[in-house]
A = this chain, B = another copy of it.
Amino acid sequence: MRDIYIGLLGLGNVGAGVVRILRENRESIEARLSASVHVKRILVRDPSRSRDVQVDPGVLTTEVSEVLEDPDVRVVVELIGGLEPARSYVLQALARGKHVVTANKALLAEHGEEIFGEARRRGLSVYFEGSVAGGIPVLRALREGLASDRIESIVGIVNGTANFILDAMTRTGASYADALRDAQKAGFAEADPHLDVGGGDAAHKLALLSLVSFGRRVDPKLISTEGITGITRFDIQMATELGYVVKSLAVADLIDGVPCLRVHPTFVPCDHVLAGVHGAYNAVAVQSRALGRSLYYGQGAGMMPTGVAVVSDIIEVCRDILSFAESGPPPEAFEQIESVTPAPVGDLMCENYLCVYAPNVPGVLGRVSSCLGAHGVSIKRMKQETPDPGRPIEMVIITEAVAESNLRAAMTEIDTFDELTRPTHRIRMLPREAVS
């Protein structure tokens, strides 16, 4: 049996999971590959630290060169996270002819062009299944299962923290602040949750989904991104009354061949398959030409789920190494990746939930609806609520499907009205007839 040696950068949570999974499934991995995978070197900061997994101390090193310059090591698994030094290490690994596996979405979303370009030039593979939706093999499904299909659109719940918070608000009636605190206590949210609740993490993942699905790279900073921090108990209560649940969705489709990407909270119809995604789970719904709708669901994060994804990538790279040893580099490496500016979101059409905060001034309702009408926004339904005595009135307006640019223009104008106590609050609505 052939031996393949790999090196790990980092032995934190996911690293320990990877070592454990490789060990526990050694037999089935060997059966799959007709080869044996060995972890030869692991870069750590402190070799003396006690860890979740037992490792031969001789394998640990604090010198990155001992991993990157080891001629036996064919695959470098980057698990340190963050942009630097992860970026330099990955580029050095590629420069030394080593394939790369990583679960670092920020790194690939920010520096993907450089990293994939280097890999392509050198005929090496970079796999990153663990970077999106944890253990759900969605990138593999997009790339392989659908090599024979064309992806048309993607709608995903790709941030477990945001979903956990919105789900808790829906289930328990908690406020955003309380639900966030609970998520932090339960270990589902970081002390600084900005990247999760602000939508930035989802935008990173969406950029990678777009890359794999459409072969187009988009700078995540150019993705239209709205977080969930403004979602109120009242919004959740209105959603329930109207037969919806609020989810933070990452959406990608092609407009004239150009990816249109956006991350935003959304009213999802209760009987939609994405409405059943609870807690910290992730799901990605894909629309493709031949297959139609499909959906992949599972745990979006965690030591073992992400570890499974990383190990699957290691197996895949090993297959490349075994397959193409004599026939040249793997085909993946030759895929040209084009960087593009994402399509503008202004032309997108959808129904919207608007919450207009107003003191009970006669005429305000008329002024708001006239303004909407003037911008071509038709009202489908309207409701006036006074949730707490003494508080200003919350006026709920459901619009017909309208162009984003029209709605934004109307909202900008409405927010200049003196009668309104707070900026108008809007949540997009997924149509009832979409992906079920």
The CA-CA distance from A327 to B281 in the complex, in Å, is 41
Q: Mark A418-434, 1 if CB is under 8 A from B, else 0.
A: 00000000000000000
Cβ proximity bits A254-285 to B, threshold 8 Å, 1 near / 0 not: 00000000000000000111111111010101
- Of all A-B residue pairs in the complex, the 5 with the closest CB atoms, nearest first, are A137-B145, A294-B298, A323-B323, A148-B311, A295-B297
B-facing residues in A196-254 (Cβ within 8 Å): none
Measured CB to CB, the nearest residue on chain B to A309 is: B145
Q: Decide: B299 and A292 in contact? CB cutoff 8 A.
A: yes
Chain B minimum-CB-distance residue to A17: B290
Taking the closest CB of chain B, its distance from the CB of A344, in whole angstroms, is 28
Flag whether A397 is at the interface (Cβ < 8 A).
Answer: no
| Contact among B141, B274, B304, B322 with A327 in the assembled complex (CB-CB below 8 Å) | B322
1/0 contact trace for A321-351 toward B, CB 8 Å?
Answer: 0111011100100110000000000000000
- Distance in Å from the Cβ of A340 to the closest Cβ of chain B? 18
A136 to B141, CA, bound (A): 9
Contact B148 A137 (CB under 8 A): no
* CB <8 Å contact, B299 and A294: yes
| A7 at the binding interface (Cβ < 8 Å) | no
Binds B, one of A25-33, A76-84, A385-393: A25-33
CA–CA, A42 and B38, complex, Å = 45
Docked-complex contact B291 and A135, CB < 8 angstroms: yes
In the assembled complex, A40 has its CB within 8 A of some CB on chain B: no
Q: In this assembly, does A34 line the interface, its C-beta being within 8 Å of a C-beta of chain B?
A: yes
Residue among A34, A298, A307, A324 with most chain B CB within 10 A: A298
Identify which of B25, B33, B335 contacts A331 (C-beta below 8 A): B33
Chain A window 35-72, contacts with chain B (Cβ cutoff 8 Å), 1 for yes, 0 for no: 00000000000000000000000000000000000000
* A-B CB contact pairs (8 Å), 17 listed: A25-B148, A29-B148, A31-B334, A34-B331, A136-B294, A140-B141, A140-B145, A145-B308, A283-B295, A290-B305, A292-B302, A292-B305, A293-B298, A294-B297, A294-B298, A295-B296, A295-B298
Cα distance A34–B326 in the bound complex, in angstroms: 14
A326's contact among B147, B275, B326, B331, by CB below 8 Å, is which? Answer: B326
